[in-house]
């Protein structure tokens, strides 16, 4: 079906989210908690847009609003811009010292509201992406706990989790960099749990925990004989490819 | 009773609770409520056992146990006093009732008396606005509560001896 975004006609499939259609058509909508790989909790609300249907207009979060009819979408109306500024103020109150949040505020020319006294050590905006990531891996080590203003992400009993494999995927997906990962002297500490780090067989960079290796082994159902970091793995694959090409050229006289 | 024995009993009770329900995730809350009712809190042993039994990560159960007001991770008193502080009760001075109870029991809302007899809590609505200010002790409702009546009511539960 065809929907209009900011007056432009865009192809959309039934059930597709507005944000995805907009991005495909080069129309930018600000987001903070959206991830292409993980289901969102849609908590930041920065992606709000106006949807006009049968002469009615409503404000929806575009990252989770499925298209079911030929609607008209406006992404930057005065109303939306005003609401987005308020949302940014609230985000700024939640994580006042967070670099990324501050950058967003600056981009949208929002001055933090003086009447909000946020916790300077708070960086989390409760988007839940870290929990989704951990669940997807299958470790299920973290969850949202408590509720209301006390709500936070934590391991059970705030203790090192038995099921955490130290992969730091949670920290990787966090939009605000709220999850602390300490790495030094071949050790990684995350969620209060300490892991030993194994080094890459080629470059010697410590980068993976034994628990991660065990997890990979079980998942791939095969032995892992050489531990290679991402960079070296890519290099090795490239070299292998070049070698194969060379072999082919030599033996079959191809690519001449 | 030694700690170990106690822990054994908790595990065996939890097993009984689990046996009473199909082994499915959707019964998690019902099981937790049963455990809460018996022990006045959710012991860690129970939560871990339930996690194994249902194949649900401990973190998810911990999330549930911390989310619901009816569940608690710390032992509650023998009698749980819930004073309503919803809009209707609030404008009818529910906080005066809370303060009075806090003074008599010498605890703050959210706490339990040292003899383990009473826990004091505030809740957001008991659905009894017509009889505001309202409170409920265990499963008994009290309406139009006045500060002077609170001690009387507590006496129905054996009163307070830590004075
Ligand atoms: S820690 Fe980061 S990823 Fe997790 S909920 Fe908070 S902001 Fe989102
Ligand atoms: S990106 Fe849609 S709610 Fe955050």
> In chain A, where are the structural domains located?
2-89, 129-230
Ligand 2 binding pocket mutation candidate from A36, A38, A47 (most atoms within 8 A of CB): A47
Q: CATH assignment of A2-89? A: 3.10.20.740
| Contact between chains at B57 and A146 (C-beta distance less than 8 A) | no
Bridge partners of residue A72, in order along the sequence = A4, A52
Note the pLDDT tens digit of each residue in B72-115. Answer: 998 899 999 999 999 999 999 999 999 999 999 999 998 999 99
- Other Cβ atoms closer than 10 A to B123: 17
Q: Are the C-beta atoms of residues B119 and B102 closer than 8 Å to each other?
A: no
- Residues of chain A contacting B60 with CB distance shorter than 8 Å: 140, 143
Q: How far apart are CA B127 and CA B141, in angstroms?
A: 11
Phi, psi (degrees; rounded to nearest 5) at A206: -70, 125
Note the pLDDT tens digit of each residue in A27-50. Answer: 999 999 999 989 878 999 999 999
Radius of gyration, CA atoms only, chain B: 18
Q: Render each residue's pLDDT in chain B as its tens digit; 163 residues.
A: 577 788 899 999 999 999 999 999 999 999 999 999 999 899 999 999 999 999 999 999 999 999 998 899 988 999 999 999 999 999 999 999 999 999 999 999 989 999 999 999 999 889 999 999 999 998 899 999 999 999 999 999 988 864 4
Instruction: Give the residue ranges of the annotated binding site of B for [2Fe-2S] cluster.
Output: 84, 89, 125, 129
Half-sphere exposure of A116 (CA within 13 A, CB side): 17
Query: How much is the pTM?
Result: 0.84
Tokens of A44: 């930041």
| Contact between chains at A147 and B60 (C-beta distance less than 8 A) | no
Note the pLDDT tens digit of each residue in A104-137. Answer: 999 999 998 888 888 999 999 999 999 999 999 9
Closest to A156 in 3D by CA, of A168, A172, A167, A144 = A144
Q: How far apart are CA A39 and CA A37, in angstroms?
A: 7
Phi-psi region at B140: left, alpha or beta (left = phi > 0; alpha = psi -120 to 50): beta
Q: How far apart are CA A248 and CA A6, in angstroms?
A: 53
| Nearest CB neighbour to B66, from listed A135, A142, A146 | A146
Half-sphere exposure of B33 (CA within 13 A, CB side): 10
């Amino acid at each position: 079906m065809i929907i209009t975004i900011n007056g432009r006609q865009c192809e959309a499939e039934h059930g597709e989210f507005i944000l995805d259609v907009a991005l495909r058509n080069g129309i930018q909508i600000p987001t903070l908690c959206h991830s292409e790989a993980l289901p969102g909790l849609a908590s930041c609300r920065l992606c709000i847009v106006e949807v006009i249907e049968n002469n009615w207009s409503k404000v929806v979060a575009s990252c989770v609003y499925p298209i079911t009819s030929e609607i008209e979408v406006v992404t930057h109306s005065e109303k939306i811009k005003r609401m987005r500024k308020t949302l940014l103020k609230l985000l700024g109150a939640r994580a006042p010292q967070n670099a990324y949040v501050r950058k967003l505020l600056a981009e949208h020319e929002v001055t933090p509201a003086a009447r909000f006294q946020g916790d300077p050590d708070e960086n989390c905006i409760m988007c839940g992406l870290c929990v989704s990531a951990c669940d997807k891996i299958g470790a299920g080590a973290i969850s949202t706990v408590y509720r209301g203003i006390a709500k936070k992400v934590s391991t059970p009993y705030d203790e090192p989790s038995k099921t955490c494999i130290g992969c730091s995927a949670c920290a990787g997906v966090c939009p605000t960099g709220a999850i602390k990962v300490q790495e030094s002297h071949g050790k990684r500490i995350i969620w209060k749990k300490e892991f030993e780090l194994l080094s890459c067989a080629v470059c010697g960079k410590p980068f993976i925990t034994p628990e991660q290796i065990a997890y990979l082994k079980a998942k791939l159902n095969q032995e892992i004989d050489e531990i290679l970091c991402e960079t070296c793995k890519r290099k090795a694959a490239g070299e292998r490819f070049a070698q194969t090409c060379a072999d082919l050229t030599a033996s079959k006289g191809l690519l001449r | 009773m030694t700690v170990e024995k106690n822990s054994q009993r908790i595990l065996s009770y939890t097993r009984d609770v689990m046996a009473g329900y199909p082994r499915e995730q959707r019964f998690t809350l019902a099981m937790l409520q049963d455990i809460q009712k018996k022990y006045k809190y959710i012991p860690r042993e129970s939560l871990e056992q339930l996690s194994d039994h249902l194949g649900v990560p401990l973190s998810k159960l911990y999330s549930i146990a911390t989310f619901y007001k009816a569940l608690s991770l710390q032992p509650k008193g023998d009698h749980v006093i819930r004073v309503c502080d919803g809009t209707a009760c609030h404008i009818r001075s529910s906080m005066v009732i809370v303060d009075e109870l806090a003074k008599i029991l010498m605890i703050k809302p959210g706490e339990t008396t040292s003899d383990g007899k009473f826990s004091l809590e505030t809740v957001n609505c008991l659905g009894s606005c017509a009889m505001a200010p309202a409170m409920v002790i265990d499963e008994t409702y009290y309406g139009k509560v006045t500060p002077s009546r609170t001690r009387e009511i507590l006496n129905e539960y054996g009163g307070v001896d830590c004075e």
